[in-house]
Amino acid sequence: ATPICFDIETTGFSRERGDRIIEFACQDLRGGDSSTFQTLVNPERDVPNQHIHGISTHMVNRPDVPRMKDLIPILVDYIASRRILGGPVILISHNGRTFDVPFLKKEFSRCSHEIPPYWLFVDTVPLARILAKSLGLSASIGLKINLQALREYYSIPLIGPAHRALSDVHTLALVLQKMTSQLKITVPGLIKQSFR
């Protein structure tokens, strides 16, 4: 299996009201040449929430920034190029089940593309809950389960601006390494936690 951490930034929180992906980043955890991929995405609409991620309408609504329909074939090819011997690719994100994956699915559907069948998804939020429970902490009053709280818990320095996709991917990769080590979860264990 090929483990790849990914993150997105969006114009808002509602896929149903037409919010769009404006940044995508991923990192192949095996490393090597071209192990990271990052791009802004032209949503073809205004970005009302620049204060969250620092991405402005001017930064993305430009002809040199790919639209999602142009990016999807490039992204699928990139992930296929990282795939090991026809095995699955595990795309790992924090809060993926309720945010990142549904947004990605919506964008693929909107652009008339199918998510490849060998893509599996893992959300690290349930792992953080297991960790909090194993440490005897309540997720609500002790160890918070957002990515920045986990970064602070593990004393991982911030790499780049918070709430930018590539910075969050680098943070997630390090948090995942610490969590899986602490919980003794291997790649087959991640596959058991995966969803399509």
Which residues belong to the active site? 163
Helix (H/G/I), strand (E/B), else coil: 52:
helix
Specify the DSSP element, H or E, that contains 103.
Answer: helix 101-110
**Using CA atoms, how far apart are residues 179 and 190, in angstroms rounded to an integer?**
12
**Using CA atoms, how far apart are residues 150 and 174, in angstroms rounded to an integer?**
10
User: In sequence order, what are the residues at sequence separation of 6 or more whose Cβ sits closer than 8 angstroms to the Cβ of residue 3?
Assistant: 28, 29, 30, 90, 92, 187, 190
Contact 6, 25 (CB under 8 A): yes
**Using CA atoms, how far apart are residues 71 and 84, in angstroms rounded to an integer?**
22
